[in-house]
Structure 1
Amino acid sequence: MSQDSEKDSQFSSSPCPQDKIIFDAERGEYICTETGEVIEERAIDQGPEWRAFTPEEKEKRSRVGGPLNQTIHDRGLSTLIDWKDKDAMGRTLDPRRRLEALRWRKWQIRARIQSSIDRNLAQAMNELERIGNLLSLPKSVKDEAALIYRKAVEKGLVRGRSIESVVAAAIYAACRRMKIARTLDEISQYTKANRKEVARCYRLLLRELDVEVPVSDSKDYVTRIGSLLRLSGAVMKTAAEILDKAKTVGLTAGKDPAGLAAAAIYIAALQNDDRRTQKEIAQVAGVTEVTVRNRYKELINELKIQIPTQ
């Protein structure tokens, strides 16, 4: 609710017109400019105690910290003593001061991580950052995965399970929610846990946390596969149109979206004379050549697609 609407609802019973009521910040009073009546006194000003007349002055006087970072175990609220051996003026510290600063850093790190939950989150966030960087995931996906993992910790779902498995499952769930094309096999290969364990943890997160995950769309894989193969935009557009037609006739139900996208890209590349082999596409998509070949035959037969002669 805005300040004007709050004032209107607060002084609706006053005989003074609403547009004639002003606030005296020095006295903390609401005054009617027509009659001079003090309508309310000792009002609390919710704004800052300073004044600014330009945007630059307002930004300079504002006292706010950095935004919360979900991928840090304490969300970035605590301070961090750096390893630099210089003071605030840029002067090099003498050896005695340097050792003293190292002791401060050691105790500050110990103070940040006190409980078992803090230790768990610190290890999990490091693992999440590592896997996210290897998969080239955007920050929004890593933040979403961190939120899912925190909910799992609060519910006690991590106890008795591998931290790596739960982190990988949270990343996969975040990728599905944000429509980032990453398969379970891709995520599992960067962890010590196998695919079966990560899939088990993923199903657990969906069941216990009520995480809503949309159905995987094969079109989400087209852009990624096409960019890795350095295909033109026309090829990727044609592949997306083929998948739309396949979805209309019900060909995509129960099929691996990555395999369908790979087959559509293979057909689109042939139609646009930008040929790639089934082996190349299968390797990039993370599926077998047999899958690409079977989906290719289904698409051209059911959709009556004409393939140019080689």
Structure 2
Amino acid sequence: MKVESVTKEETKKPERKIKLAIAKPEDYSNKNVILEKEEELICPVCGSKNIIKDYERAEIVCEMCGCVLQQNLFDVGPEWRAFDHEQRVKRSRVGAPMTYTIHDKGLSTVIDWRNKDSYGKDISADKRAQLYRLRKWQRRIRVSDASERNLAFALSELDRIASKLGLPRNVRENAAVLYRGAVEKGLIRGRSIEGVAAAALYAACRRCKVPRTLDEIAEVSRVDRKEIGRTYRFISRELNIRLAPTNPVDYVPRFASELKLPGEVESKAISILQKAGEKGLTSGRGPTGVAAAAIYIASVLQGTRRTQREVADVAGVTEVTLRNRYKELTEHLDIDVTL
């Protein structure tokens, strides 16, 4: 009796692709710039990219076929748990993460301004004089040449404008990356540092869908609206930034919050704007005016009316613009509003 041996194909090792996403000046059209290394795994059995990292079982598993790609994973996170920001800060034993909003990316050290030692005791007079000299030299070392000095000034100006506008951290990081890209390509020459910083922040707001108008940015910056708009068009062309027109829906949460309107009004306004977009009523018109009109209509329909002046002031448009957009929306969407 002859027994045939059946050979099975050896299971191939998981194909691993390592992506190192570096923020290059020619690749600024992406909505979110990834600033860290990420690993992409592909299942060797079915070729799926839907891979799950199960830290409870310490395994990496394919979601489609169940193949275990890796096991006995190491948890690189902290061994402690924190339930709020204060606990996280107290229990953390490492410094702040790398950030592009500081000219040296936050990798340098700073001598504390308080004249106390590690035990909290006051330092003697001789040591204070020595620390004063060390602090002075530390500041000089951190900013060594003119380019670093200009970058430090620009990023501090960018952070100041972002703080005035109440912008989140991801917008500031995106703006800092854009500004660094403009510096690398020599786009700052012949233009004011404040103007390029304000234009980079305006572009970052649009990319992160946290829109601010040119008037809002010009109000808190040291340059006028015209220069910011001109600089924004220039750097967006040179850095190949492709941004879709601002959606009026993105303005609704902020306007509704400033007017202290309930969530029902916000949802109704978004619904009105979505219907208006399907009929092409938002194209060719200022997004703030259309958003203001939708909020005004929604507030009347929900019984929490705000005056036209209140809505117009929050949106930064005139009452005439608000009334024109209001008439267009009510007529084309067949909305019956009783004033």
Identify the TM-score tier after normalising by the shorter chain: 0.7 to 0.9
The CA distance in 2 between the partners of 1:56 and 1:292, in whole Å, is: 55
Structure 1 partner of 2:220: 190
Q: CA deviation at 1:214?
A: 2.6
Matched, 1:154 2:184: yes
Higher fraction of helix? 1
The CA distance in 1 between the partners of 2:241 and 2:314, in whole Å, is: 29
For 1:189, what is the secondary structure of its paired residue? helix
Matched, 1:181 2:211: yes
Q: 2:123 aligns with which of 70, 77, 93?
A: 93
Structure 1 partner of 2:255: 225
Structure 1 partner of 2:201: 171
Matched letter for residue 80 of structure 1: V
The CA distance in 2 between the partners of 1:129 and 1:108, in whole Å, is: 22
Q: CA deviation at 1:220?
A: 0.4
Matched, 1:66 2:66: no
Structure 1 partner of 2:337: 307
Structure 1 partner of 2:172: 142
Structure 2 partner of 1:246: 276
Question: What residue ranges of structure 2 are gaps of 5+ in the alignment?
Answer: 1-12, 16-73, 81-91
Q: 1:278 aligns with which of 299, 304, 308?
A: 308
Matched letter for residue 101 of structure 2: T
Residue-pair matches, total: 258
Q: CA deviation at 1:213?
A: 1.9
Does the aligned pair in 2 maintain the 1:181–1:224 contact within 8 Å? no
Aligned-residue CA RMSD (Å): 2.2
Can you list the C-alpha shifts for 1:51-75, whole angstroms capped at 9, x where unaligned? 99x9749xxxx99753101111100
Give TM-score, length-normalised by structure 1.
0.79
Matched, 1:295 2:305: no
For 1:89, what is the secondary structure of its paired residue? coil
Matched letter for residue 179 of structure 1: K
Can you list the C-alpha shifts for 1:15-46, whole angstroms capped at 9, x where unaligned? xxxxxxxxxxxxxxxxxxxxxxxxxxxxxxxx
Structure 2 partner of 1:81: 111
Change (3 A) 1:301 1:110: same
The CA distance in 1 between the partners of 2:234 and 2:128, in whole Å, is: 48
Q: CA deviation at 1:96?
A: 1.2
Q: Which structure's relative contact order is higher, taking Cα pairs within 8 Å and 6+ residues apart?
A: 2
The CA distance in 2 between the partners of 1:264 and 1:55, in whole Å, is: 47
Q: CA deviation at 1:211?
A: 1.7
Q: 1:106 aligns with which of 136, 140, 143?
A: 136
Does the aligned pair in 2 maintain the 1:216–1:257 contact within 8 Å? yes
Matched letter for residue 173 of structure 1: A
Q: CA deviation at 1:159?
A: 1.6
The CA distance in 1 between the partners of 2:204 and 2:141, in whole Å, is: 31
For 2:248, what is the secondary structure of its paired residue? coil
For 1:264, what is the secondary structure of its paired residue? helix
For 2:153, what is the secondary structure of its paired residue? helix
Does the aligned pair in 2 maintain the 1:262–1:285 contact within 8 Å? yes
The CA distance in 2 between the partners of 1:64 and 1:293, in whole Å, is: 55
Structure 2 partner of 1:212: 242
Q: CA deviation at 1:125?
A: 1.1
Can you list the C-alpha shifts for 1:202-223, whole angstroms capped at 9, x where unaligned? 0011100112323200000111
Percent identity over the alignment is: 53
Give TM-score, length-normalised by structure 2.
0.72
The CA distance in 2 between the partners of 1:190 and 1:184, in whole Å, is: 10
The CA distance in 2 between the partners of 1:101 and 1:214, in whole Å, is: 52
Q: CA deviation at 1:105?
A: 0.7
The CA distance in 2 between the partners of 1:67 and 1:94, in whole Å, is: 33
Q: CA deviation at 1:5?
A: 4.8
Q: CA deviation at 1:158?
A: 1.1
Q: CA deviation at 1:176?
A: 0.1
Can you list the C-alpha shifts for 1:167-189, whole angstroms capped at 9, x where unaligned? 11011000000000311110011
Question: What residue ranges of structure 1 are gaps of 5+ in the alignment?
Answer: 7-50
